[in-house]
Structure 1
Amino acid sequence: MPEVPIVMPQLGESIAEATIVQFNVSVGDTVDAEQDLIEVETNKATMSVPTLCGGVLKELHAEEGQSYAVGSVLGVIEVTEEELKRTGVDTIEQAQIASAPSSSEESYQAQSEEEQNLHFKTEGGGYFEPKTVEPNVQGLPVPMGKKGAHYISPRMRARMNELGLQAADISAITGSGTGGRVTVADLEQFLDYISAWPSSKASPMRLAVADAMRRSWSRPLATVGRPIVMDKLLSYRAAQNPKPGLTLYLLRAFALALAEHPEAAGYLIGGSIVHPRAFDIGVAVQVTDGVMVPVLRNVDTKSVRELAADYAELVDLARAKKLTREHTQGGIATVTNFGTFGLTWGTPIPLPNETLILGMSAGVKKPVWSDEVGAFVPFTEAGLDLTFDHRVIDGGDAGRVLNRVAELLASPQHL
């Protein structure tokens, strides 16, 4: 009879293993589909592991009190051909084939062959012991493995490549495979489901932005923010002829703050943090169906007035979509003035090759307490939001940079 594995499922986005608390069934018992077979404990909660189909529990390969990695085979159920066809679950052999790495993954997963042997049958027909790990349920979450809904089989990867799809494109699909894995059949059913929906072809610009944001979001990003009073800056700017754009002051203050805290603009590569060799800052410019980011060079060494001509030229080139590779490479951070759209709050996302992005929201009149007059006085208040790669710096470091930017903007005559 066909044999179906009982697999330790992905029990949460940051859960890589769980500890067996107790078994609700014994070898030889008849079990029903979706029956809770095993109680397990993670570092967040106690949960149950259900069976995906009905049958007879043939073997258990796990022990109470032991921790097992996500994807480990905890037992085996014998099922009928009819039940297998009804539920569509993978047998031991099918799961073993789906879990084998593709040729492009072999060098990346040097230990994968040994790991797969821990899950499935030996050549002699027996079973290896499931993969146990040291209990971690009292500690911090550890990175999850490539099993379950986050694992893409070689067959699925090949079909996605044919369709030009990325992993993010299938995130809306509920998987029916082992451990919630999205199968080719799931993908085809989803594509058929949306085939009659209105659609339009994404422009090359939109696709470029989507690719950059997908790569950016592969990192742990966080955002800190604070308000700033804008009246001194607005009054000083109004007195200038010609009047520089507010974004120029933000660029200059950001570069000076980073020059004082260069570690905040570092970039993590392997086990090293690469620090900036120059404070070249990009500026986000809205164009048709996307955003372009030209880079101003050595912003920490030039005044706002000295930056104005280069800034105006680059913005014009961006809006005309005539920026060259030289205009867009080498930035260590970006500023974006989304306040020009009337937005009062936001969480901008840094480019994949940058650790930081600083945003400014729209100014709003608010009553602010003044110690000088001992009363609330109407001031123009805007928000500063700094998004950063949390692998490189923490909230305190980001806060120091943001506070320094606010201090510099409060003295615009020195910018």
Structure 2
Amino acid sequence: MSANGRTARPHPMRLAVADAMRRSWTRPLASAGRPVFMDPLIKHRQNSPLRPGITLYFARALALALAESPECAGYLVGENILSPKTIDIGIAAQVADGVMVPVLRRVNERTMEELLEDYNRLIAQARRRRLAPEDSTGGIATVTNFGGFGLTFAAPMPMPSESIILGVGAVTKTPVWSDEVEAFIPISKANIVATGDHRVVDGADIGRLLKRVAELLQRPEYL
């Protein structure tokens, strides 16, 4: 025991997370955020018999936006930026002593219905710490829903092997003026924040990517 109290060796997963974040922090990182109106998504989810998780909507929107802006999906190796062959998106899942990140494959090419079974299976396996190695590697970007902890804003860090991460904040009600009814009406919104490797993406790139994600989420029936 030290003079400051009891010492204990962290869980191996905590050590793995610490090492990953240390390696990620060696890069110059830039973050930007904006609000997203959530009422269309919430209504679509309530009316869907599938009831997909909110995070899956954001993963699908991010994948479509990255497919349109491949410069945001690249990864710096030496003096070259490598472009991915497929848009595979990691989903951060909180577990005891750390985080596991299962990876959904070809997210831009598959519908929400096609993705849902894999999403539910991978999240369940991650929370039981039973992810196979092939299900947790090869992602080009990650979505993390920090809103599940009641947070409205955070600056997540991308995985060392990825150049960008998208964070989703808690949904809140905000009064917004409506010219149609000439009154303030409650609107659901959430903040989204992207952090990227500044050697690969600039603030303008992140801003355009977030704008496109927000646009896609206004028409969730087409995701």
In structure 2, give the amino acid aligned to 1:372. E
Aligned residue identity for 1:240: S
Give the drift of 1:384: 0.5
- Is 1:404 matched up with 2:198? no
Structure showing greater Rg: 1
1:330-368 deviations in whole A, cap 9, x for unaligned?
100000111111111110100000000001000111111
1:123 corresponds in structure 2 to: none
Q: For residues 84-123 of structure 1, what are the structure 2 equivalents within 5 Å?
A: none
- TM-score when scaled to structure 1? 0.53
Matched to 2:208, the amino acid is R
CA distance in 1, matches of 2:220, 2:179: 22
Comparing both chains, which one has the higher relative contact order based on Cα–Cα distances under 8 Å and sequence gaps of 6 or more?
Answer: 2
**What's the offset of the Cα at 1:197?**
1.6
Q: How does 1:147-296 map to 2 (within 5 A)?
A: 195-198=2-5, 199-296=7-104
Q: TM-score, normalised by structure 2?
A: 0.97
Is 1:387 matched up with 2:190? no
The AA in structure 2 aligned to 1:394 is D
Report percent identity of matched pairs.
57
**Moved beyond 6 Å, runs of 4+:** none
**Residue number among 121, 143, 167 corresponding to 1:313 in the alignment:** 121
Give aligned pairs, total: 222
Structure 2 equivalent of residue 159 of structure 1? none
Residue type at the aligned position of 1:377: I
- Counterpart in 2 of 1:375? 183
Aligned match of 1:347 in 152, 155, 162? 155
Counterpart AA for 1:197: N
AA aligned opposite 1:355: S
Letter in 1 for 2:111: S
Cα offsets for 1:75-116 (capped at 9, x unmatched): xxxxxxxxxxxxxxxxxxxxxxxxxxxxxxxxxxxxxxxxxx
Structure 1: gaps spanning 5 or more residues = 1-193
Shift of 1:306: 1.1
Q: Deviations over 1:201-236 (max 9, x none)?
A: 211000000000000000001110000111111011
- 1:372 to partner: Cα distance: 3.1
TM-superposed deviation, 1:200: 2.2
Tell me how far 1:269 sits from its aligned partner: 1.2
Displacement of 1:242: 2.6
Give the counterpart letter for 1:196 in structure 2.
Answer: A
Mapped to 2, the partners of 1:397 and 1:369 lie a distance apart of 30
Say which of 121, 130, 145 aligns to 1:322.
Answer: 130
Q: Partners of 2:123 and 2:192 in 1: how far apart?
A: 22
**Residue type of the alignment partner of 1:392:** V
Show structure 2 runs of 5+ residues with no match.
none
Counterpart secondary structure, 2:48: coil
